[in-house]
Structures are given as structure tokens and as C-alpha cells.
Amino acid sequence: MLESLERDTLAQLVVVTTPSLDGFSIADYSIALGRGWGIGHRERNDGLLLVVAPNERKMRIEVGYGLEGTVDDVFAADVIEGMKPFFQNADFDGGVSYGVSRLSDRVRQNGYRKAA
């Protein structure tokens, strides 16, 4: 699913679950991870990172600058809200795939730089 998204739209979506945030805020953790791994194309800056820290009960969607118009703050917050009920029912996989499908649908719908 993630691979086909990248093939079709060039955007990279990465899901990370971590047992611990090492004491950092989830925002700091996510941006360090996104930059450290170099998610998304360097020029297009089209990486999407979904970080789930189940033990700290935190989630975050980090959006590369190039995708901020597509996945804006309000949409990202809405996806996070939608994921919460899954986690409350201990349906970890369901929560992650809900998040992934909403994010990838959004990127596809906006026809973000179709691959040739």
C-alpha cells in the first residue's frame, strides 16, 4: 500500500511505532526521525510520517513542507482523532491502517505530482 502510493504519487509515507519517545515530545521526536531518515524527496520535501507511541499514548503526523497544502493541520488532527477509537479498543492494526488509508487517499485525491 505504501509502495504503491510512492509509485503513483512519488510521495513517501512511513509509519513508525516506537516503544519509547526517550523523554522527547512527540513533535520533536517525529521531526528528528523524519529528517534523520530523510523521508520524502529532498527537493520536493514530500515525506509523510505517522508516528505512534502506544506506551506514551501519543500519535503524530509529520508532514514535509511540500505536502503541507495537501495534508494540512486540520486534516491531520482529524485523522488522529479518527484513529483514537481504534486504539481505545486495543485495535492497533486497525488504527494504523485507518490512518494510512486516509492519508494516502488524501494524497492520491490531490493528484500530487503523478509519477510519469
Partner 1 sequence: MTSLAAFRTSIVAAAALALSACGINSVPAAEEAAKAKWADVEAAFQERANLVPNLEQIVMSSAEQERETLQSVIQARASATRPEIQLDGDDLGDADKMAQYQEAQNTFGGALSRLMANVEAYPELRSQENFGRFMTQIEGQENRIRVAIRDYNEAVRQYNTTIRTFPDTIGANIIHGAEPMVPYEAVTQGAEVAPTLDMRSDSDTAN
Could you list the residues that contact partner 1 (CB under 8 A)? 18, 22, 24-25, 27-29, 31-33, 36-37, 72-74, 76-77
CB of 35 to partner 1, least distance (A): 9
Closest approach, Cβ 113 to partner 1, in A, equals 22
> Closer to partner 1 at the Cβ: 10 or 80?
80
> Measured from the CB atom, is 37 or 114 closer to partner 1?
37
| Closest residue by Cα to residue 103 from 66, 59, 61 | 61
DSSP-derived secondary structure letter, 16? E
Identify whether the C-beta of residue 107 lies closer than 8 Å to the C-beta of residue 13. Answer: yes
Which residue has 509509519 as its cell numbers? 15
Q: Which cell numbers hold the place of 94?
A: 486497525
Question: From the CB of 114, what's the least distance to partner 1, in Å?
Answer: 27
Nearer to partner 1, 29 or 98 (CB): 29
Residue placing its CB nearer to partner 1 in the complex, 73 or 105: 73
8 A C-beta contact, residue 87 and residue 95: yes
Asked if 62 contacts 45 with a C-beta cutoff of 8 angstroms, the reply is no
